[in-house]
Amino acid sequence: MPLLRGPSASSPAVLTSPAAHALTPPASAAPSTPAPPQVAPPADDDVLAQVESYAAEAEQAGAQLLVFPEALMFPHRLSADELREAAEPLDGPFAQRVAASAACHGLWIAFTLYEANVEGRRPFNTAVVVDDAGAIRARYRKCHLYDAHGECESDRTDKGDAFCPPVVTPFCTLGLGICYDLRFPEHARAAAIAGCDLIVYPAAWYDGLHKREHWETLLRARAIENECFVAGVCRAGEKFVGASLVAGPLGEVLVQGPESTQEALVTATVDLTKVASARDRMPVFAHRRPDLYS
């Protein structure tokens, strides 16, 4: 599981902050590898050049999946009106350029964009998965908006109304959440019940009192509860915790990126046999009592 240092802008990883995270391939029947970069806004504001650079680095590292942090699309915070004006459809130029990088380097890429709302309202904070041919395979609109600690995400974006269906890839069945979704265990449980063995959370997790501890604890808790792999890919920068990480089905930290302002491309190998092993030894899904939960 090599840790590849990236530039000082936003980075991709299978897990890092703001960076991308990459998954590397396993031998037959065994591990796949995600690469999350932990990235910060590039000095020249050329986000797409940064995406291309990390995609090339992830390909060189042998990754299969590259995951970028939340708020990738714009290097700096926009006002609500500016965000609405700048949002794009899923087939817009930003998504097309990221898809072209995926196809060029033979990677699956998960990234976020601000998706234009056809009803003319606030845009959606949307996670997109493109395959290694550049085709869109999934879209997830963030359901839980961060209205806390002086932030009001709902002033800037509209919430989604559905969880993401499982994304079947050649190397895993992928689940998607975005940042604040991590605090809602129902979200991850729904993904696990639907068959996901890796759940990724692109994030721009703000730093603050105990926020760094919450980030790691929640990622590991979601992995333990659902006996699957969980990757958190956080933005880098002074306001964010960084520290992207991948946790295994027993909650063990497989790899962790640097904190805060440091960028990195982090790679981890995901061995899906460990999901089956964890669930055989501790069959919580067989012991669930959904008749009591509603």
Catalytic-role residue among 143, 164, 172, 179? 179
| 291 is a domain residue | no
pTM of the predicted model, to two decimals?
0.89
**Positive or negative torsion for Cα 68, 200, 16, 1:** negative
- Domains contained in the chain, number: 1
**Residue 95 carries which side chain, given as an amino acid letter?**
A
Instruction: Name the active-site residue from 142, 143, 153, 263.
Output: 142
| Residue 238 belongs to some domain of the structure | yes
Q: Is 179 a catalytic residue?
A: yes
Q: Are 255 and 246 in contact (CB under 8 A)?
A: yes
Domain of 65, in residue numbers:
3-286
CA angle 109, 112, 115 (to 5 degrees): 125
**246 inside domain:** yes
In a domain, 27, yes or no: yes
Alpha helices for 28-171 (secondary structure H): 47-60, 80-86, 93-105
Of 77, 87, 97, 82, the C-alpha closest to 123 is 87
Distance CA 170, CA 63 (A): 13
CATH number for the domain including 20?
A: 3.60.110.10
Inter-residue contact 233 to 20 (CB < 8 Å)? yes
Query: Looking at the domain assignment, is residue 168 inside a domain?
Result: yes
Catalytic residue status for 216: no
pLDDT in tens, the chain (294 residues): 222 222 223 434 443 333 455 665 443 334 566 767 777 766 667 899 999 999 999 999 999 999 999 999 998 889 999 999 999 999 999 999 999 999 999 999 999 999 999 988 999 999 999 999 999 999 999 999 999 999 999 999 999 999 999 999 999 999 999 999 999 999 999 999 999 999 999 999 999 999 999 999 999 999 999 999 999 999 998 899 999 999 999 999 999 998 777 888 999 999 999 999 999 999 999 999 999 998
Q: Establish if 239 belongs to a structural domain.
A: yes
Give residue for tokens 């899923």: 90
> Is 39 within 8 Å of 21 (Cβ atoms)?
no
**Domain-located, residue 294:** no
- Adjacency order of strands within the sheet including 229-234: 167-168, 173-176, 198-203, 229-234, 245-247, 253-256
Domain assignment of residue 293, yes or no: no
70 is catalytic: yes
> Which one of 70, 153, 227, 263 is the catalytic residue?
70
Distance CA 244, CA 257 (A): 5
